[in-house]
Chain A
Amino acid sequence: MMYFLIRRTVGFIATLIAVSIVVFAVMNILPGDPALTILGMDATDDALAALREDLGLNEPLLARYFGWVAGALTGDFGLSHSFRVPVSELISERLAMTISLAVAGMLLTLLIALSVGIYAASRHGKAGDWVTMFISQLGIAVPAFWLSILLVLLFAVNLRWLPPGGFPGWSEPVAAMRSLILPTVALALVQSAVLARVTRSSALEVMRQDFTRTARASGLSQRRILWRHVLPNALVPIVTIVGMQFAALVTGTIVIENVFYLPGLGRLIFQSIANRDLPTVQALVMLFAIIVVTANFVVDLLYVLIDPRLKARA
């Protein structure tokens, strides 16, 4: 158990270090001169030299890397070029939006996918199974941004139930929640389609085992068997996919925030790329990578909780 935790933690930290090296390298070595990237081809030599000094580009590469990491560890990502404020300030203003979207999207995904998947498994081979699996197949085939546009057309433009986009700020909680409903649904639907199918097949696998029949023989109701025995045993593949989906949801916010004009990290990364704001882009790419790696780490830890055999062995 202890050994397992230590190994996974070491792996987690090693991955983060590797990721930071890759992100730094891509931003600073591969494309050429960062100052040129920021200022464009027709910048004067003086301006370029000044910016290089400003960015610390005249220092050796290794020193710049460690400077960046040391800063990042204390929450200092340098100054944003286009916004003229610290990158950390830009991020902290927008982090809540992106995290709320991703977490709400994940919860909605779980709610839809587990119910639908377990329902389909319990109706295996019957009409209910067919219909739900057909719809989920459609859900998988549909791109999230297109679904978002459909949702906006239906619920915002035609029915006028919800705002089409924009965000009034957290000071108006009801309006803020309302403006997050469509983006959350758009994020969750595609992911639930995938997860529902995984849940169904994993549940069917468990239902083939004798202990579900033993449970039936003991007079347990179908519903109790499904939630007590089938779902818990079906969790390992489900949790694996959920970990990957959380990463997909976080990166999915980039598209969704741009479709719905929400002030989050996804919008920020678009703006920063358009503005060639290198320090901000670098910080954001690193941040998204950290979220993805952390989600995977959490999944690894969850396995131990889910599976008593792992708990004993690990």
Chain B
Amino acid sequence: MTLLTAHNLTRRYPLPRTKLLGKAPFLTAVSNVSFEINPGETFGVVGESGSGKSTLARMAMAFEAPDDGTILFEGQDIHALNAPDLRRLRPDFQMIFQDPFSSLDPRRKVGWSIAEPLRAMGITAPDRVAESFEQVGLHAADGDKYPHEFSGGQRQRIAIARAIITRPKLLIADEAVSALDVSVQAQILNLLMDLQDSLGLGILFISHDLAVVASICDTLLVMQHGKPLEYGPAVDILQNPSHTYTRSLLTAAGDKP
């Protein structure tokens, strides 16, 4: 069974009214996007800033509902579930964010934060917290510190540790390395790839940077202004881009040091 199926997703946001009467204008942030992610696959979404990637991620995480279309997680329409059922399903798909400075509660020790998803499931398992720490290359003793005592890269490791502690089948990473130094980026990307191997994790990897996406993804979706431009195996798209937009992304990626 496919892990995640997005079918004709569309999301519109209301814009401020320009006229008192008549229809309120709106912006189509995501327009008619469809794709499939298989278990254990790395699926990349790439596009310039404002192309609707984060909006897509929020819908895939069931943070907000699409105006049109459906998202199935292992065949279940996540937006049709009631709140308790959705909460029960949540451990199966987790997310990490761009900004490792705001994705952890600054008032909580990181050990507490990492264990929180388990507590939400009603599980207390100190050994799994320690295991999670080790999986991301940190020490269990680090659990006694606060987020501000870590560097950006370390915090992103902590965010990943928290995300994988529920043993999810899908991990959504929205610009997860964009805020990090290039050398740290590579470390985090390697970590994600290792985890994918050892845990059989499916990854929905979102970035504006085609170079980063190309280095790890099997399948690729290129977006522009909310619309899907290209969709298919990463190697095909990278070698034979059919749109000038994709080519410009490639050039931009190649120009980078």
Q: Which residues of A contact B (CB under 8 A)?
A: 209-211, 213-221, 224, 229, 232-233, 306-309, 312
Nearest Cβ distance between residue A236 and chain B, in whole angstroms? Answer: 10
B105 near A233: Cβ-Cβ < 8 Å: yes
In the complex, besides A218-B120, A219-B91, A309-B106, 8 extra interface pairs with C-beta distance below 8 angstroms are: A210-B98, A211-B106, A213-B97, A214-B97, A215-B116, A218-B91, A308-B107, A308-B148
A31 to B98 alpha-carbon distance, docked (Å)? 64
Nearest opposing residue in chain B for A216, CB measure = B63
Q: With an 8 A cutoff between CB atoms, is B242 at the interface?
A: no
User: What distance in Å separates the Cβ of B65 from its nearest Cβ neighbour in chain A?
Assistant: 14
Cβ–Cβ contact A219 & B162, under 8 A: no
Contact A210 B97 (CB under 8 A): yes
Q: Tell me whether A308 and B146 are in contact in the complex, defined as CB-CB below 8 angstroms, given that A214-B162, A220-B116 are known contacts.
A: yes
A232/B107 in contact, CB under 8 A? yes
Q: Are B106 and A233 in contact (CB under 8 A)?
A: yes
**Interface residue from A210, A219, A221, A309 paired with B99 (Cβ < 8 Å):** A210
Residues of B contacting A214 with CB < 8 Å?
95, 97, 103-104, 159, 162
* Cα distance A216–B105 in the bound complex, in angstroms: 13
Of chain B, the residue at the smallest CB distance from A308 is: B146
Indicate if the CB atoms of A221 and B87 lie closer than 8 Å.
yes
A173 to chain B minimum Cβ distance, whole angstroms, is 40
A211 touches B116 (CB 8 A): no
Q: A233-B107, A309-B148 are in contact. Are A213 and B95 (CB under 8 A)?
A: yes
Cross-chain contact of B103 among A210, A219, A306, A309 (Cβ < 8 A): A210
B102 touches A210 (CB 8 A): yes
Please, how many residues of chain B have a CB less than 8 angstroms from a CB on the other chain? 30
User: For the complex, is B94 an interface residue (Cβ under 8 Å from A)?
Assistant: yes
Asked whether B121 is an interface residue with its Cβ less than 8 Å from the other chain, the reply is yes
| Bound Cα distance from A214 to B97, whole angstroms | 8
Is B103 a contact of A218 with CB atoms below 8 Å? no
Answer whether A218 and B107 are a contact pair too, CB < 8 Å, given A213-B95, A312-B146.
no
Beyond A210-B99, A309-B148, A312-B146, whether A220 also contacts B105 by CB under 8 A is no
Contact indicator A219/B120 (Cβ below 8 Å): yes
Residue contacts A-B, CB under 8 angstroms, 25 given: A209-B102, A209-B103, A210-B102, A211-B102, A211-B104, A211-B105, A211-B106, A213-B97, A214-B97, A215-B105, A216-B63, A217-B93, A218-B91, A218-B94, A218-B117, A218-B162, A218-B166, A219-B90, A220-B116, A221-B87, A224-B120, A233-B105, A233-B106, A309-B146, A312-B148
Within the complex, what minimum Cβ distance (angstroms) separates A187 from chain B?
Answer: 31
CB-based nearest A residue for B118: A218
Docked complex: B67-124 residues within 8 A CB-CB of A: 83, 87-88, 90-91, 93-95, 97-99, 102-107, 116-117, 120-121
Query: Whole-angstrom distance between the alpha carbons of A312 and B107 in the complex?
Result: 12
B61: interface (CB < 8 Å): yes
Please name all residues of chain A whose beta carbon is closer than 8 Å to the beta carbon of B94 when the two chains form the complex.
217-218
